Structure 1
Amino acid sequence: MDWKQASSLFIFVFLIINICLGVLYYQKVERSNQIDIANEKVLSFEKENIKLPKELPPSEGVKLNYLSGRSKKFEATNTTRSNTVVKDKVIKDRIATNLPLSAIEPDAIMEDLNIFMATVPYRGTEYILSGIDRINKRILYEQTFNKYPILSNDTAKVVVNYNDNQEAYSYEQSYIENLQEGIGNNNKKKQVVEPRRALEVLYYQNELKAGDEITAVRLGYYSVVPNIEGQVLKPTWQVAVLHKNGKRETFYVDALNPQEPILK
């Protein structure tokens, strides 16, 4: 090989190396720019003047799937009391002896009604206290599956009524039975998105604005088609919001596919 050929080959190899180094440098710069842009787009709720709870529910390692089940058909013959009423998959009954409530507050209610919930309603230990309606004097419990509540579902709750003397005197119950995970061949659990992601979805969908306050965030199951005998429930983030104008709203964001339409 003469000198001209060798020098030409050397120049060609040198050019190839320079081109490769140039491509690698360009890719590195692009990645750096993408990271900077992503960091700039991180939503700061504090800067947007949107108040969050001090702590959000944990989501790391939480994997859930869709549920299916059917509304239980109660029988009036299950009780010896003559004032039991069964209608539309709901059983209504008086409490044998009025139960005094030391205070209409969550901790007191859970203690005062602990034995009642464990012994009177059907599978009462599967329910958790979810709210107090002081206007209508009702105490609300939600059915759970593996400790996660079935959210805002009239076919999966216990309602305890109390009087002006702060005594629980009657209750009504509905229950979803035969709950099973997975729909059809889809039996694989999936990691739920972080609760912050659900809040970001609400913000970018213009459901959250400056001056709003997130008062509660819960992970549970929400009915795809509520209030029917057979139900499909999907993992959902429930977000309670107090808007700047004083209006309260509750939103439901799909915990597996947050791009799905937001429900209210």
Structure 2
Amino acid sequence: MNWKLTKTLFIFVFILVNISLVIIYIDKVNKSHINDSEAENAVDFKQEEIKIPDNLPSVKNLKMQLLTARSFDFSSYAKAHSDISSEDSGAMAKGDISNPIDVSNDQYTDLKSYVKDKVYKGKDYEMSNIDNKKVTFEQTYDDYPIMNNNKARLEFNINDDGKASSYKQTAMKSITPSEGANNEKKQVNTARSAIEALYFNRYLKRNDEVTNARLGYYTVVKEPNVQVLEANWEIKVKHGEKIKTYYVEAVSDSPKVIEE
């Protein structure tokens, strides 16, 4: 046996093992510093006497990007359906429900079934708001709502007897990723980081309460027929007796805040 060669190989393997251990150690130290930095920058909302929801939506491994969409023209669709008319140069459809749907006592199962089966692309809408006079649905893209947008909305009027007998609808079509070299998908920031952005921008103060946080698309460019949609967190905050809505960019390192 060539002991000199064996000794050389042993030394070489020993050096490689040590190099690997050093790399692993450095990686752990770096991750530890990142976690420590995040912990130092985190806002202690309890100490600040600001209430936030216990269970915020998870965005693990979720990436989103800018979208471009166009308004749907209901003119031809309305002509093919006797119970539907079009308005606003075809941008809005108005429908009559022959058998009004009872939504009293918080019973919305029949209404949701009607939307799914009878309304144009009803499966793409989700219920977003309810009051005594109307029930509102929002159009979705990849299961995320197009928020606060009168070009992607479905509204049912509620009569005094608690029944829905008509609706009006707008919709977007050709929803696709916006063109451009810098429009790659990016990791979505957490809901907590969006709430912290509100705090650092002085929209959140002592005794405020965050009542809801949801992720969706918000319109950042509005043209007559074309819109650009950006991933945003919609955060509702209770300031005393008033509730305000804020939109926080969801994929930006320095998120912009819009107050509605």
Common topology (TM > 0.5): yes
Specify the SS of the correspondent of 1:259. coil
Deviates more, 1:223-232 or 1:89-98: 223-232
1:78 aligned partner: 80
Q: Letter of the aligned partner of 2:60 in structure 1?
A: E
Q: Which of 219, 226, 233 is the matching residue for 1:223?
A: 219
TM-superposed deviation, 1:187:
4.8
Specify the SS of the correspondent of 2:258. coil
In 2, distance between residues paired with 1:36 and 1:127?
42
1:97 aligned partner: 99
In 1, distance between residues paired with 2:150 and 2:33?
50
Deviates more, 1:87-96 or 1:60-69: 87-96
Residues 198-230 of structure 1, C-alpha deviation per residue, up to 9 Å, x if partnerless? 001100100000111111100000001247310
Pick closer, same or farther for the CA change 1:72–1:85 going to 2, 3 Å.
closer
1:211 aligned partner: 207
Deviates more, 1:164-173 or 1:71-80: 71-80
1:69 aligned partner: 69
Q: Which runs of 5+ in 2 are unaligned?
A: 1-30
Confirm or deny that 1:255 pairs with 2:250: yes
Specify the SS of the correspondent of 1:84. strand
Residues 25-57 of structure 1, C-alpha deviation per residue, up to 9 Å, x if partnerless? xxxxxx999987764442111111111112101
Pick closer, same or farther for the CA change 1:38–1:215 going to 2, 3 Å.
closer
TM-superposed deviation, 1:125:
0.7
In 2, distance between residues paired with 1:93 and 1:254?
35
2:111 aligned partner: 113
TM-score, normalization by structure 2: 0.80
Instruction: Give the % identical residues.
Output: 35
Pick closer, same or farther for the CA change 1:262–1:187 going to 2, 3 Å.
closer
Q: Letter of the aligned partner of 2:246 in structure 1?
A: F
Q: Letter of the aligned partner of 2:85 in structure 1?
A: T
1:153 aligned partner: 149
- 8 Å CA contact 2:87, 2:94 repeated in 1: yes
Residues 55-103 of structure 1, C-alpha deviation per residue, up to 9 Å, x if partnerless? 101111111111111000111313113x724225111121121111242
In 2, distance between residues paired with 1:200 and 1:256?
14
In 2, distance between residues paired with 1:119 and 1:39?
49
TM-score, normalization by structure 1: 0.79
2:19 aligned partner: none
**CA radius of gyration, larger in:** 1
Residues 149-193 of structure 1, C-alpha deviation per residue, up to 9 Å, x if partnerless? 001000001001111111111000000000002332345211001
- 8 Å CA contact 1:198, 1:258 repeated in 2: no
Q: Which runs of 5+ in 1 are unaligned?
A: 1-30
Pick closer, same or farther for the CA change 1:243–1:117 going to 2, 3 Å.
same
- 8 Å CA contact 1:201, 1:258 repeated in 2: no
Q: Which of 176, 180, 195 is the matching residue for 2:176?
A: 180
